[in-house]
Structures are given as structure tokens and as C-alpha cells.
Structure 1
Amino acid sequence: MAEIRGWSYEGTELAWIQDRLGRPDGGPGHAVSELVPGCFGSYLRIFHPFQAMDGSGRTCSWRTLAEAYGVPFHSELSHRSLPAGTVPSGGPLWLAESGRLDDRSRGALQRCLAPATGDQQVFYAYDLVAMGEDVDSPIERCSSLAGLDSTHAAVRAEIGDVDGPEFWWPQDRSWVVTTDHDLLSTYIGCSTETARRILRADELEVLPVTQQTRVDFYADESGHLR
């Protein structure tokens, strides 16, 4: 998870988020508070599913792999606790994608967010991934909640093959979705009611987190990294 930011957010739509991010407790590693502002009733982690690298198109949940290795499934679980990403029985290599929520999970999340969003405009922002491109500020677009995919396609057509968006939120700022380009999970701040809908979604592998929950690859406190 990168820390260096090379431009000012003054005058950008992203400013309200960036002004509220940080790690006030000075603890080790990185935490949810560096990804999602501390103004929400609930915080969630959506795990990006593992994909089989044998071309079969199969997916596997973090819980399934954790159970296969006897590793506790919890909110700070790291892929580093799942040795080599392989199933003990000698199955395929499993890898999770960083920087972008998969299509199925993204669609399920949009459906969960729709009741809290209505017909509001939704902002989509590309921050760190835009720094390698020929732009002088974060890339920001505005569309509907249903317009996420078409907005992302337009950004890719404009600047190239980038992950993201890194941040998306509605006009009333009632929720924020953050997918850092270095991480294998997406983090959300929202109301308690919206969180309940997301936690009930069968298509999503999700756990509650707090602002203090670590998000970096060395976060796992289960003892399997020791």
C-alpha cells in the first residue's frame, strides 16, 4: 500500500476523503482509517475471491482456503497465511486480484448500495493509479451507480489499462467504497442499515472491521506468520 502522494487535493472531489484519512494512533502497518473516513456507523471488508490459475474459471473463498490450512478466518486475515496459495490436496494455484473487485462481487455490492443511493449521482475517483499517467490531478468522473462499468471503460479508453476506481461514493456521502491498488480486499464505510444488507449478500465474502483494523499484508495476528 503506497503512502507517497504527489499532488494536492485542493479543489478536487476527493478532498473531503483525503482530508479525513490517516493513522492517529501511530500503530504498526496500515489501517482502515487510511482508506475510509472515520464518519460512518459501520465498516466492512469485502474479500476479493481467489481465482484458479488452471484456466477452469473456478473461484474459491478465503474462508475455504483458511479452513483447508487450519487458519482462523478473521478480519485481518492475510493471503500470506495461506501458504503458496495452493490447496493442501495438491489442487491448482489460487490467486486473488489486487486493485479491482471482481465483476460478480461488484454487481452484488451495487445492488446492496442501491437503496441508500437512489437516483443520486455517484463520484468515481482514480488516485494513485493515475500518478503513472500523464495527468496533473486525480482522475474524477461522475455518473449513476449503475454507470460504474461504463465509467471505468471510458477511463481505460482515455488513459490505458488501469485498475479502479479506487474510491466511489454518492453525492450525499452516505457511503464510500475504497479499493486500494495494492490490496486484495475492498473496504467500505456506510450506515449500519446498509452494512446489514451487504453482510446478508450471498455473493459477497465480507466481515465487519473497525477503523483500527489493519489492512496490510502483515496484519494477520493469528500466529501463522510468526
Structure 2
Amino acid sequence: MAQTREWTYDGTELAWLQERLGRPGAGPGHVVSELVPSGFEAYLRIFHRFEAADGSGRTRTWQTWAEAAGIEFHPELSHFSLPGRHGAGGELVWTTEEGALDGRSRGALARRLAGVTGDQGICFAYDMAALCWGEEEPLVRHASLAGLESVREEVADRVGSAGPEFWWPQDRGWVVTTDYDLRSTYVGCSNETAEQILDDDELEALPVTPLTRVDWYADRRPPTAHRLRGETQVVMVATGSRP
């Protein structure tokens, strides 16, 4: 059953961001420019760390996994291309968070950005998560970077454990996007900030471009059917400033 809801960004704090999102032309899949606004010097992909499904606390990076499998570690690498995610009986062996940067990486990124931003206020916003959880408009909170985890805890009963989907400082010097459906986070920032993030041993990141594909099938054949959430397909009809 398809459920259609109207969603507008006019008059919300996401309006400026949505005006700078979109792709320049038709093509397969989805690309960075649909997630991170235009106008930044550099764009990065931060890979969500894999964790063992057995609760042991073991972790695994995308790069070490790809290298062990003889696969190129590249900006459009899909988790579908990494062999051995499931055991012989089909059980999940390694998992990575969808729609949320893992805590270890999230903390490292916040610390790096704090060094760039100082004590500026940060806008934390939930878009698709808010829509899917029944909110009437994007959910926005303001705090410092040090308050990121407090914001997540505060809104968990309204949007779950995902996100924040977008966060940016008052001067809009960078934007972090963790899409509700993806297993990587994308950042738009200055070249200097990008270098600091790439140099952080706690973060697994690669440079990307606005046209780098971000969907699950980026380095595979396109899917034959769209993935639905349960039995209800939520269709967003955006009005106002979104492309």
C-alpha cells in the first residue's frame, strides 16, 4: 500500500540546504550532489565501521576487508561487493549501521570538526527519518558539537537511532549528511578540513566528487526492484525549494 504525504521545506532551517541539492543530469543510481549541497571545495565519504554480529565487539574496516578479498577499495564500493557478510546458514556475520555513523567514527568526526568550528552553534536536522516516523516537518535541534550524543538521545523516541541526517555550523563552513538509507556518511567542507579528516586514524574516509554514486548498487548491476520498508511505501511529495 502506498501512502503519500506532502512535505515542504519552505520556512524550515533546511530550506537553504535543499536549494543546493540535486543532480546535473539523468543517470543511474544516486550521487553525492543529491545528499550534500553544492559549493564546497572538497567532498568525502566516511565509511560506517563493520561490527561482528556475535556481540564480541570486534570491528572491521571496509579497506582491510576489501584488500583481504582482493577487491579495490574505492569511493563507490558497495557493501554488497564484500564477500562473507553472511555465514553458511545465511546468518549475518558482520553488520554496519544504516542511517547512522557508528559511535566511534561519529565521535572522531565531531572532535575534528570542533577544531575547525570552535564554539559555534550546530544545527542537527532529521529529514527522511522524521517523515517516516510521522513528524509533520523536519525535526531540528541546536547544540554544540559536544552535545551531539545528547541530541541523539533526546530525539530517539521520535526518529529512532538514525542520524542526525544533516549537521552544519552557523557559518555553513561544512555539512555532514548521513542519509536514512545508506551505510556511509558524506561531508562537504574546505580542502583544509578534508585533509584533517583524511588524516584521522579513527575515520575511514575517501575523497569523492559531487557525481560519485552513493547507492547500494554503485559498483554492481542496478536492482530489479525498489526496496520497501515493510508493507508500506512512503512517497515524499516535496514542495517549495527542493529540486
TM-score over 0.5 for the alignment?
A: yes
Counterpart mapping for 1:82-161 below 5 A: 82-85=82-85, 93-157=93-157, 159=158, 161=160
Distance 1:41 1:51 in 2: 32
Cα distance, 1:136 vs structure 2: 1.2
Q: Read off the aligned partner of 1:9 and give its amino acid letter.
A: Y
Q: Is 1:16 matched with 2:20?
A: no
Match in the other structure for 1:219? 218
RMSD between aligned alpha carbons?
Answer: 2.0
Cα distance, 1:26 vs structure 2: 1.3
1:131-181 deviations in Å (ceiling 9; x for gaps):
133421000011111111101111124x25241110000010000000001
Distance 1:188 1:87 in 2: 33
Distance 1:35 1:134 in 2: 22
Cα distance, 1:64 vs structure 2: 1.2
Check the 8 A contact 1:5/1:128 in 2, yes or no.
no
Match in the other structure for 1:45? 45
Larger strand proportion of the pair: 2
Change (3 A) 1:96 1:141: same
1:4-58 deviations in Å (ceiling 9; x for gaps):
9841100111111111111112121100000001110000000001111122110
Q: Which runs of 5+ in 1 are unaligned?
A: none
Check the 8 A contact 1:6/1:131 in 2, yes or no.
no
Distance 2:57 2:30 in 1: 32
Match in the other structure for 1:196? 195
Cα distance, 1:86 vs structure 2: 5.1
Check the 8 A contact 2:168/2:175 in 1, yes or no.
yes
SS of equivalent residue, structure 1 residue 100: coil
Check the 8 A contact 1:121/1:170 in 2, yes or no.
yes
Q: Which runs of 5+ in 2 are unaligned?
A: 224-243
TM-score normalised per structure 2: 0.84
Q: Which moved more, 1:63-72 or 1:182-191?
A: 63-72
Amino-acid identity (%): 60
Check the 8 A contact 2:129/2:159 in 1, yes or no.
no
Q: How many residues end up aligned between the 2 structures?
A: 216
Q: Read off the aligned partner of 1:94 and give its amino acid letter.
A: W
SS of equivalent residue, structure 2 residue 7: coil
Check the 8 A contact 2:52/2:94 in 1, yes or no.
yes
Distance 2:126 2:64 in 1: 32
Match in the other structure for 1:30? 30
Distance 1:49 1:166 in 2: 17
Check the 8 A contact 2:100/2:161 in 1, yes or no.
no
TM-score normalised per structure 1: 0.90
SS of equivalent residue, structure 1 residue 129: helix
Match in the other structure for 2:230? none
